[in-house]
Structure 1
Amino acid sequence: MTAATSSPATPAPKSAPKPDPKPDRVYFFGTCLVDMLYPEAGLAGMDLLRHAGVTVIFPEGQSCCGQPARNSGYLEEAKAVARAQLDAFPGDLPIVVPSGSCAGMMKTHYPHLFEGDPDQPRAIAFAARIHELTAFLVNVLGVTLQDKGEPMTVTWHPSCHSLREMGVTDEPKALLRQLANVTLVENSRERECCGFGGTFAVRQAAVSTAMVADKLASVRDTGAGTLLSGDCGCLMNIGGHAEKVGDGTRCRHIAEFLMERCHAR
């Protein structure tokens, strides 16, 4: 009598992973340039989060992310500034940052900055909580926008750090494409640096000026009258050069632009 054979059981289909639950509360890291030069961008970023149903906590003890000191080679000073941020944002709430540059510093470089330090585990846990604003709005909160503004054309400039350290690519554009009366024109030289780079713009002024001139020329080529970005350093550099040469391009932070288009503030 031949033993009966059975075919292997068909594996049960794998269920799709459940998305992370939307947080009820978040921290907001304001950044130095928002604090000193672009306060409306920070207020708009917090308003966008609140309109999405999230309570925003702004720790008053926060300061700089430490990037200027680190980039200038002052690692111990940068670590002291960074440690102050670890203390200012306790717990496990997400930390939302309206700047790919500052977000990149905290998410990518804090763990390395504290290598061999007793605070490295804290720095690693802190880094895992960092989110760039537009990516958080799209990927975590899944916001939907209703455009209430007049028709206009814009173009987009990503910062180097948002692209290469935070991996933020299409999220800002996904938000802009939700706006029915806004035409987003692609810049063929979008991924090129604007030449700011913090202290680079001071130490290598001639190179920086040439780079920002190229960037502004590429913006003009799009035909858009408004340039949007998620980093105030880039906005300061491009907008400052545009003003100096008499170019009429308007440079704005995406948070302020979205808030103005979609909500009465």
Structure 2
Amino acid sequence: MNVQLFVPCFVDQLFPETAFNMVKVLEKLGCTVSYNPNQTCCGQPAFNAGYQDECRSVAAKFLKDFHTADYIVAPSGSCTGFVRNYYGKLFDNSANHNDVKQLKKNMFEFTEFLTQVLKVKDLGATLNGVGTYHDACGALRECGIKEGPRQLLENVKGLQLNEMNDCETCCGFGGTFAVKYEPISIGMGEQKVLNAIDSGADYLISTDLSCLMHLDGYIRKHNHKIKIMHIADVLASGW
């Protein structure tokens, strides 16, 4: 199975090891993984900040870079959800309309691709400790991803999965929200981290590094012992 990799901006710049671990997992499952080095951003930051014309320009480049019949897989429910749910509005009644329809069919968040397309639940991963899962807004609300990541984590040898309180509540990042509404964002992040700690977890796991990056800032500032992990890094552990 041929897979095109989309690596979001913050993963590319700050957490490249997660992208490599995603490739590691996909190749283990027999996928032929390709990466287009011309790719940039999906356009979501500009869109959320109110710059729709600038977003459309970036999104048009995305359509060109991923003009393919292959599956497109991303380690981000946020980016995946944006492409699926908002590209149609950006390019409504345009020459790109059919390309957008095809892209929406091809694009999958990483865990969604594993569980729904490849029908995989056990990667043979090992991680000793206790984990808790944060339902990122993009994955949960934009893509409807809920049980898949948990099924994958429950099959990680040595990992005990504990649910935290308010696991579906936003972490407070929200891109520019964290800048424009800093005190609220910090308060939401604090609540999420403390709920994760109260669950007894050693690892705070999610599909989205944007959430995890935000939460890790609070964790580091307050010297908490809990560690963040993207689910791709968990699934690539121990083999």
Common fold: TM-score over 0.5? yes
Residue 148 to residue 223, structure 1, CA distance change in 2 (3 Å): closer
Q: Distance in 2 between matches of 1:146 and 1:117?
A: 45
Q: How does 1:48-63 map to 2 (within 5 A)?
A: 48-63=25-40
The answer (yes or no) to whether the contact 2:125–2:234 under 8 Å persists in 1 is no
Q: Give, in whole Å, the separation in 2 of the partners of 1:147 and 1:244.
A: 31
Q: Counterpart in 2 of 1:28?
A: 5
Q: Which one of 202, 219, 227 corresponds to residue 242 of structure 1?
A: 219
- The structural deviation recorded for 1:147 is 3.7
Alpha-carbon shift at residue 129 of structure 1 (Å): 1.0
Decide which structure has greater helix share. Answer: 2
1:200-239 aligned at under 5 Å gives the runs 200-239=177-216
Partner residue of 1:15? none
Query: The residue matched to 2:143 in structure 1 has which SS?
Result: coil
2:61 counterpart residue number: 84
Q: Which amino acid aligns with 2:123?
A: L
Q: Which residue of 2 aligns with 1:14?
A: none
Quote the residue 1:134 is aligned against: 111
Q: Are positions 1:43 and 2:43 aligned together?
A: no
What is the CA-CA distance between 1:148 and the residue it aligns to? 3.9
Find the counterpart in structure 1 of residue 94 from structure 2. Answer: 117
Report the CA distance between 1:256 and its aligned residue: 1.0
Aligned to 1:184: 161
Give the Cα separation in 1 of the matches to 2:80 and 2:148. 15
Of 146, 156, 160, 2:124 maps to 146
How many residues are treated as equivalent by the alignment?
Answer: 238
For 2:156 and 2:114, the matched residues in 1 are separated by 15
Residue ranges of structure 2 left out of the alignment (5+ in a row)? none
Deviations 1:137-157 (CA, angstroms, capped at 9, x unpaired): 1111123322444x3111011
SS of the counterpart of 2:236?
A: helix
Deviations 1:89-144 (A, max 9, x none): 12211110100001111111111111122212211221221101001111111233
The structure with higher relative contact order (CA 8 Å, sep 6+) is: 2
Under a length normalisation based on structure 1, what TM-score does the superposition of the two structures give? 0.87
TM-score (norm 2): 0.97
Paired-residue identity, %: 36
Match of 1:199 in 2: 176
Question: Hey, what's the Cα distance between the residues in 2 that align with 1:125 and 1:139?
Answer: 18
What do you get for the CA RMSD once the two structures are aligned? 1.1
Local SS of the residue matching 2:24: helix
- Counterpart code for 1:145: L
1:165-184 equivalences in 2 (<5 Å): 165-184=142-161
Residue equivalent to 1:7: none
Secondary structure, aligned partner of 1:181 = strand
Larger CA Rg, structure 1 vs 2:
1
Q: Structure 1 regions of 5+ residues with no counterpart?
A: 1-23
SS in 1 for 2:160: strand
